[in-house]
Structure 1
Amino acid sequence: MPTALITGITGQDGLYLAELLLAKGYDVHGLIRGQNNPRRDLVADLVPDVRLHNGDLTDMSSLIRALRDSDPDEVYNLGAISYVAYSWENAALTTDVTGKGVLNLLEAVRLHAADEPGRVRFYQASSSEMFGKVQETPQRETTLLWPRSPYGVSKVFGHHMTINYRESYGMHASSGILFNHESPRRGHEFVTRKVTRAVARISLGLADHVTLGNLDARRDWGFAGDYVEAMWLMLQQPEGGDFVVATGETHSVRDLLDLAFGHVGIDDWTPHVRQDPRYRRPAEVDELVGDASKAREVLGWKPKVTFPELVTMMVDADLEATRQGWT
C-alpha cells in the first residue's frame, strides 16, 4: 500500500486529492495547522480514513515530525495562503507560507530521505499567477514568469526552489502549473464561488445583488477534481518535471455571470451585479490561458468537465446548500 502526505488537506484540492488516493488504495495522511482548525471536522466527514498530523509550513520541526510519523512515498504540497487579494494585505506572511514554506518542506523531505534521494516523490502546487503580466499566449512551461502579486512572487520562489532541489539533489520533484480550477468546495472569497453562491441566494429571494471588481478579467477555468488527477500522474513518471495543467479555453467574468444567472432563469443579470473598485487588484492580471500539450502527451491527461458544466455544478451545489441552510 503506497503512502501519501498532503499539506493543505483542508482545501478543495486537498480533499479531492485525498478522495482520489484513497480510491487507489493509498494510506493517506494530511497535515493540518492548529488543533482547533475549523475545517478539521470537514476533513473527518469527507475523508474519514485520512490520518491527520498537526504541523505548519513555517515550522520545519513539525514537518520533519509529520514525515517521520507518516513515512510517505509521495508528498503533495498544496498548502499555501492562496487568496491573491489577501497577499497584498499581508505580503510577509504570504511569503513565509507560500514561498519559504516550500523550501522548508523540500528540505525536510531531503533530510528524511537522505539515504535514497528519489525515494520520496514530491509535488509542488505552482500557479498560473506566476505568469502575471503574460509574455506569450497561451502560456506554457517555458513562458517567462512575470508575477503581479505577492502571492505570484511567492509561488515563483517555490517553483524555482522545487526545480533547484530536483537538479541539485536528484529528488523526484515535480511542479504542476495549475490554471484556475474551481468546484463547489471552493472558498466563498474566490470570484467563481462568490458568484454561484450569490446567484443561489438571489434566485431564492435571500439577496438582491453581488458586488464584484473587474468583469472583463479572463481566466482558464477548469474543475479541481480533474486537476488533482494530473498531480497524481506527475508523481507516477520515471522522473520529475514541470507541467502546465489547463483547459486551453479562456472565459471572462461576464461569461461566468451569463452562465450562472442563466442556469436559474435570469437572462439579464445587470440589475443584480454591482462593481466596486475596491475589488480590483493593485496590479491586474487581465488574461490567463494555458497550453497543456505536455501534460496531454506525457501524462495522458486532459480535462473532463467543461466550463458550462462546472458553473452548473457549482450553482446547483449552492442552491442545495442554501436551501438546507448550510451556507
Structure 2
Amino acid sequence: MKKALITGITGQDGSYLAELLLHKGYEVHGIIRRASTFNTGRIDNIYSDPHDAGARLFLHYGDLSDCEQISNIIYNICPDEIYHLGAQSHVRVSFDIPEYTSNVTGLGTTRLLEALRRKDSKIKFYQASSSEMFGAAKPPQNENTEFVPRSPYACAKLYSYWMVKNYREGYNLFASNGILFNHESPRRGETFVTRKVTRGIASILSGKEKYLYMGNLDARRDWGFAPEYVEAMWRILQNDKPDDFVIATGETHSVKEFLEEAFSYVGKHMNDFVKIDSKYFRPTEVEVLIGDASKSDKELGWKPKVTFSDLVRIMVDADMRAAGLEVAGEGDEILAKKFSDKWWRGD
C-alpha cells in the first residue's frame, strides 16, 4: 500500500486530494496546525478513528515554520509521495502579512525539500505552484512563459518553484511543480472571490444581506473545478520523470462575468445587488491569467470537463442548499452527467 503525506490537507485541494488517494487505495497522512477550534470540516466525512486497525487516514500536528517537526513527521511516516499544498494562500492577505507569507509559503517548501533530501531521495514530491507567479506576463501562459509576480504571495510561490527545480537538478530528487490556475468548488474558502459571490447570493436571497461588496470586477481568471485539478496533481507524480506542468482550462473570464452568470442563474441582475468597495482592491493587480495546458494534455492525458458555466452552477447550488434555499439542481445534473465516478462525494 502506498503512503502519501499531504500538507494543507484541511483546505479545499487537500480534502479533495485525500479523498482521491483513499479511493485509489493509499494510506493518507495529513499535517494540520494546532488551533483552539476544530478546522477539519472539509475532511470530517472521510476521517476515521486512527486507533481503528482499518483506518487509512491519519492526521499529525505540525507547522511549516517548524523545521524539526516537519522532519520528524517525514522520518516517522516514510511516505512514497508528498503533496505540498499548505501555504498562506490568500493573495490579498499576503499584502498585509508579507513576512509571514514568505516564511510559510516560501521557506516552508525549503524545509520540506531539505528533510526529503536527508531522508530518502526516492520519495516523490509535488509542489503546488500558482498561476499568480505569471502576474503581468503576456497571456496565454505556459511552462515557458516568463514570471512577473505581482504580490508577496506570488513572490513566495516563485521562490518555492525555483527551489523545487534546484533540488531536482542538484540532488536528483523526483520533485515536480504543478502550476495550477484558479480552481474552485463548494469547498473554496469563503473569502476567495468565487465563493464570496456564490455565498453572497445565498445570503441575499435568504434575506441576511442586502448587497454584495466587491473589488476589481475587470480582473480576468482561468477558472476550473478543483476535484479535476487534484487528479492532475496525482498524475504529475505518476509521470515517468519529474517535470513542471501548467494545469488550466484555456479560457478566461472576468469577475464581472462570474457575477453575471451567478446572478442570472438565480433569476436576478447583479446591478441590483453589487456595490464596489475600494478596500477589496489590491495594491498591484494581475489583470489577465489564461493557461495553456497542452503539455499536460499530451504528457499526462489530462483535460478538464467542467466548463465555466458548469462551475458557477455547481457552486451556487451548493451555497443555496447550505442556506436552506430551494435550488435549481443544474449543478447536480452536471456532475452526474460528466462524472460517473464521483469519488469526491463519497459515491
The TM tier, using the shorter chain, reads over 0.9
Residue in structure 1 matched with residue 329 of structure 2 by the alignment = none
Structure 1: distance between partners of 2:200 and 2:242? 41
**AA aligned opposite 1:112:** K
Mean alpha-carbon deviation: is it higher for 187-196 or for 37-46? Answer: 37-46
CA drift of 1:276 comes to 1.0
- Native 8 Å contact 1:124 1:176 kept in 2: yes
Q: Which runs of 5 or more residues in structure 2 are unaligned?
A: 49-55, 326-347
1:268-315: CA deviations, max 9, x gaps? 210200001111110010010000010000000011111111111111
Distance 1:281 1:4, change over 3 A: same
Q: Quote the sequence identity (%).
A: 54
CA contact (8 A) 1:87 1:150 kept: yes
Matched residue, 1:120 = 123
Please name the residue that 2:178 is paired with: 176
- Deviation per CA, 1:71-106: give whole Å up to 9, x if none: 100000000000001101010000000000000011
CA contact 2:127–2:177 (8 Å) conserved in 1: yes
The residue matched to 1:45 in structure 2 has which SS?
coil
The change in CA–CA distance for 1:254 and 1:248 in structure 2 (over 3 A counts) is same
Distance 1:15 1:78 in 2: 10
Matched, 1:66 2:73: yes
RMSD over aligned Cα atoms: 1.2
Number of equivalent positions? 318
Residues 203 and 264, structure 1, Cα contact 8 Å, conserved in 2:
no
Cα-to-partner distance string for 1:186-232 (whole Å, 9 max, x where unaligned): 01100000000011121222221100001111000000100001100
Q: Is the 8 A contact 2:88 2:101 kept in 1?
A: yes
Compute the displacement of 1:44 (Å): 3.3
Q: CA deviation at 1:111?
A: 1.1
Structure 1 stretches of 5 or more lacking a match? none
Match of 2:45, SS?
Answer: helix
TM-score, normalised via structure 1 length: 0.95
Aligned partners of 1:35, 1:203: CA distance in 2, in Å?
Answer: 33
Aligned residue in 1 for 2:297? 296
**When the two structures are superposed, what TM-score results if normalisation uses the length of structure 2?**
0.90
- In the alignment, the residues of structure 2 paired with residue 288 and residue 99 of structure 1 have an alpha-carbon distance, to the nearest angstrom, of 22
Could you list the runs of 4 or more consecutive aligned residues of structure 1 that deviate by over 4 angstroms after TM superposition? none
**C-alpha distance in structure 2 between counterparts of 1:42 and 1:228, whole Å:** 15
- CA drift of 1:35 comes to 5.3
Separation of aligned partners in 1, 2:47 and 2:318: 19
Contact 1:18 1:47 in 2 (8 A): no
SS at 1:302 equivalent = coil
Paired letter, 1:213: G
Q: Which residue type is aligned with residue 239 of structure 2?
A: Q
Q: State the distance in 1 between where 2:97 and 2:204 align.
A: 33
